[in-house]
Amino acid sequence: MRSDQFFLIIAIFAAIGFLLFLGHIINVIRGFNHGRKQYDASRTWPTTKGQILKSEVNTDHDYGPEGHGITTYDPVIKFHYKAFGQDYESDRISFGFKRSYIDRSDAEQIIQKYPKDAAVTVYYDPDKPAEAVLERKIGSKTWD
């Protein structure tokens, strides 16, 4: 293989890698903007009473190609609520991406706020009552 062909192949792979990275960044930004729009709209959302159905920490083990791994902990909250006389369930604590933690105690802090069978306030979208959250914020950030 000639050196100019080799550099062309490297350049193509570099361009593909860059485009994949750029696509990921665009998706993150779009997800954040969507969460921000939902947060802004939620300022006028009505509330209703709800009940926690499930409150636990899920453990996930991810292993790389060399066998090295990382363990993450995901707070899992599921709640029931009624809107316009109809029953709904949701698992969204807040807007934006669901969070995973490297430290189990961080995930446990989240579920301690919402123990099973606890009564909670639920914010729901009156135009789409199946969309609801327990906290009107994006991840750990609240804008007011």
Question: Taking all residues of the chain, what is their mean pLDDT, rounded to a whole number?
Answer: 82
Which residues of the chain carry a pLDDT beneath 70?
1, 18, 21-41, 64, 67, 97, 138-144
What's the pLDDT score for residue 5?
76
Which residues, 6 or more positions from 110, have their beta carbon under 8 angstroms from its beta carbon?
Answer: 75, 77, 93, 99
pLDDT of residue 142: 37
pTM for the predicted model, two decimal places: 0.68
